[in-house]
């Protein structure tokens, strides 16, 4: 500034935007910018300045917000007394626990996380005090009152182009160097490890034994090299909110009691196992630190090192913990040994998971082979029966015995013939499926009328939707051109998306019913829901799109990419195969399957895109 004054702009003063995707402005060296001075005097100490305060987001805010208005925002902060939601840069509202659908023993951080999208009604607004409160429960009440119009509400929420596009979460497989813990470990140290320690890890990780025995040996081998009090591998079950112990190794040789794992879900274990964050804490005093209140209670330690165990492309929530009763500095060689042991532990876990998947696929394969053989044999027998019944009826007529030929008991022959025809139709469908696989392998695509396909899937799933109190609504663009795809494969993908929406709505209804019982039946129940299938033509891409929207529970920010990974499911009974297979099928057909948008407690929107057929 003038008179050789200089100053500093804190990071938070660069922009009002607190979104997880926000990028602060970048200034070139020597560029003259306008700022607002926050503090400072005209002497050697620096002054503090702000760029964001050049504008006031709350100016004329009454024109945009008032009590009762429906707003949408992103969760930017979580506190025990509520969640802070950014409805626009610089406008942050609070959602208090009473206005969030929380079940018994749940806290705000159990159902909301940074980056999540939410919707609610403005329940309190004070422009002078710059305060706004949002209620999700009031928003659900309004949805319940407008149930018959939820199909249109979904289109209004999710179908604005470019709104809420999801970005891939890069947490999976992140290296520890990004967190700074392994930083500075010299690469040449690895050469010193290529001895008995490495050979033992290789033998222990690849030996054909139960997983718990393998992990136990790996931990014992590491503890023999590293002086720590406890070594543990834990598995986090997000759906059931439980943490289980897979293996442990203790200095005194005693077993770790299982009761202490019942509350670990509400501890930093979630940060390490689920969010892939490295943890290194020292001078831990569990009684005085709320963060560690439920962290391995009953064990005597003051230092903790938590290391995520990530398996590429497989959604697993494992973590390795090292606990010690005194603060110590790990030497570079020790760090490399821990890191090497971690890699072999991940290898053992990945091997076990893949073997389990293979066993499941083998069962499905053999079941399919057996079913195919039975259908073939049955078709052969019924075809013969059909021919015999036809010849018998014809022979009776030729014999001049119309009284016998018209006997009602002979209707069974006609039924058998009809059954044979139905089996033949099934056989044709199976042949079509084989042909589709052949086309897929050859890249032989066809022109697919998406409207016809969507109507067909609706007819197939209408009864299933009705069982779950769900309505399927179609919003079709009659001018859309044919898509370049394979009809039978696309039918499978679309049916899976719609069925998944139905199942999500059913699960949400159960949760809301339990919540209503806990609140004395005063909470509105969205026990019914909608799935909307919409077709449209994206002229800018020359592509055809099917969008599937549902009034399910929505997705957390961190789930948006995981749900397409093998074995990951948001439902307790789910196997994590449907969306994984669907995305691979769409990729093989040179299309795209992605989450277009998702709002917690309100619903989600998936999109399938294929090039227009030329």
Q: Categorize the per-residue pLDDT at 291 as very low, low, confident or very high, splitting at 50, 70 and 90.
A: confident
Name the CATH architecture for the domain at 61-145: Beta Barrel (2.40)
Domain boundaries, the chain: 2-54, 61-145, 187-354, 359-442, 446-611
Q: How far apart are CA 142 and CA 140, in angstroms?
A: 5
Which residues on adjacent β-strands are paired with residue 608?
Answer: 546, 593
pLDDT at 164 over 60: no
187-354 fold: Beta-Lactamase (3.30.450)
If you average pLDDT over residues 317-333, what whole number do you get?
Answer: 79
240, 415, 456, 533, 608 from 476: Cα distances, Å: 39, 39, 13, 8, 14
Helices (H), 113-248: 136-145, 150-158, 196-206, 211-223
514: Cβ contacts below 8 Å, ≥ 6 apart:
103
460: Cβ contacts below 8 Å, ≥ 6 apart:
495
pLDDT in tens, 453-498: 999 999 989 888 888 888 888 989 999 999 999 888 898 899 999 9
Q: How far apart are CA 211 and CA 436, in angstroms?
A: 40
pLDDT higher at 110 or 95:
95
Q: Categorize the per-residue pLDDT at 429 as very low, low, confident or very high, splitting at 50, 70 and 90.
A: low
If you average pLDDT over residues 583-595, what whole number do you get?
Answer: 86
Helix/strand/coil for 474: strand
Phi/psi for 264 (5° steps) reads: -65, -20
- 202-211, 282-291, 493-502, range with greatest mean pLDDT: 493-502
Residue tagged 């227009």 (tokens)? 612
pLDDT at 302 over 50: yes
Given this model, what pLDDT does residue 189 score?
42
Let me know: does 472 contact 500? Beta carbons within 8 Å. no
CATH class of the region 446-611: alpha beta
Least confident window among 203-212, 316-325, 478-487 = 203-212
> Which H or E run includes 421?
helix 411-442
pTM above 0.85, yes or no: no
The two tokens of residue 452 are 């016809």
pLDDT at 407 over 60: no
Given this model, what pLDDT does residue 24 score?
76
Least confident window among 182-191, 378-387, 460-469, 593-602 = 182-191
Given this model, what pLDDT does residue 135 score?
92
What percentage of the chain reaches a pLDDT higher than 70? 68
pLDDT in tens, 41-63: 554 566 888 999 998 999 888 88
Tell which phi-psi region holds residue 431, choosing left (phi > 0), alpha (psi between -120 and 50) or beta.
alpha
Given this model, what pLDDT does residue 173 score?
29
Q: Which residues of 512-544 are buried (b: 16+ CB within 10 A; e: fewer)?
A: beebbeeeeeebeebbbbbbbbbbbbeeeeebb
Q: How far apart are CA 121 and CA 71, in angstroms?
A: 6
Given this model, what pLDDT does residue 44 score?
54
pLDDT at 84 over 90: yes
Q: How far apart are CA 337 and CA 307, in angstroms?
A: 13
């Amino acid at each position: 500034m003038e008179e050789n004054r200089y100053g500093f702009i804190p990071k938070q003063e660069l922009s009002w935007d607190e979104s997880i995707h926000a990028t602060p402005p970048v200034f070139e060296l020597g560029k003259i910018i306008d700022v607002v001075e926050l503090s400072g005097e005209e002497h050697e100490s620096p002054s503090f300045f702000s760029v964001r305060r050049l504008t006031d987001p709350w100016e004329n805010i009454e024109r945009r917000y008032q009590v009762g208005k429906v707003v949408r925002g992103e969760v930017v902060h979580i506190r025990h007394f509520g969640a802070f939601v950014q409805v626009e840069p610089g406008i942050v509202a609070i959602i208090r626990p009473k206005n969030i659908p929380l079940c018994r023993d749940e806290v705000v951080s159990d159902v909301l996380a940074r980056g999540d999208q939410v919707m609610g009604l403005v329940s309190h607004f004070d422009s002078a005090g710059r305060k706004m409160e949002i209620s999700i429960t009031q928003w659900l009440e309004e949805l319940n009152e407008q149930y018959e119009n939820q199909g249109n509400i979904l289109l209004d929420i999710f179908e604005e182009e470019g709104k809420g596009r999801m970005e891939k979460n890069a947490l999976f497989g992140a290296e520890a160097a990004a967190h700074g813990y392994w930083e500075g470990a010299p690469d040449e140290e690895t050469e010193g490890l290529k001895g008995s320690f490495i050979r033992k890890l290789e033998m222990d990780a690849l030996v054909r034994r139960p997983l718990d025995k393998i992990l136990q040996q790996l931990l014992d081998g590491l503890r023999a090299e590293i002086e720590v009090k406890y070594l543990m591998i834990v598995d986090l079950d997000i759906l059931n909110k439980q943490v289980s112990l897979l293996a442990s190794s203790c200095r005194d040789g005693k077993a770790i009691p299982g009761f202490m794992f019942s509350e670990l879900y509400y501890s930093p274990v979630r940060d390490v196992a689920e969010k892939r964050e490295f943890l290194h804490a020292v001078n831990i005093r569990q009684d005085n630190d709320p963060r560690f209140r439920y962290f391995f209670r009953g064990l005597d330690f003051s230092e903790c090192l938590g290391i995520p165990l990530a398996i590429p492309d497989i959604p697993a929530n494992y973590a390795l913990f090292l606990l010690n009763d005194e603060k110590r500095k790990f030497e570079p060689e020790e760090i490399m040994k821990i890191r090497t042991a971690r890699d072999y532990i991940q290898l053992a876990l990945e091997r076990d998971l893949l073997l389990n998947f293979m066993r499941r696929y083998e069962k499905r394969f053999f079941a399919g082979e057996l079913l195919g053989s039975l259908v073939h044999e049955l078709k052969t027998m019924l075809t013969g029966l059909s021919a015999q019944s036809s010849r018998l009826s014809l022979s009776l007529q030729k014999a001049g015995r119309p009284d016998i030929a018209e006997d009602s008991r002979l209707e069974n022959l006609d039924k058998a013939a009809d059954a044979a025809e139905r089996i033949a139709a099934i056989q044709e469908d199976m042949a079509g499926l084989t042909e589709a696989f052949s086309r897929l392998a050859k890249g032989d695509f066809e022109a697919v009328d998406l409207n016809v396909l969507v109507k067909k899937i609706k007819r197939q799933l209408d009864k299933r939707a009705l069982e779950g109190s769900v309505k399927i609504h179609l919003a079709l663009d009659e001018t859309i051109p044919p898509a370049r795809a394979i009809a039978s494969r696309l039918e499978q993908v679309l049916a899976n998306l719609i069925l998944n929406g139905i199942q999500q709505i059913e699960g949400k209804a159960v949760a809301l019913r339990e919540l209503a019982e806990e609140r004395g039946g005063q909470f509105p129940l969205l026990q019914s829901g909608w799935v909307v299938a919409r077709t449209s033509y994206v002229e800018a891409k020359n592509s055809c799109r099917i969008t599937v929207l549902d009034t399910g529970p929505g997705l957390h920010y961190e789930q948006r990419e995981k749900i397409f990974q093998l074995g990951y499911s948001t439902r307790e009974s789910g196997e994590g195969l449907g969306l994984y297979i669907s995305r691979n099928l769409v990729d093989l057909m040179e299309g795209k399957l992605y989450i277009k948008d998702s709002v917690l407690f309100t619903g989600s929107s998936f999109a399938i895109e294929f090039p227009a057929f030329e």
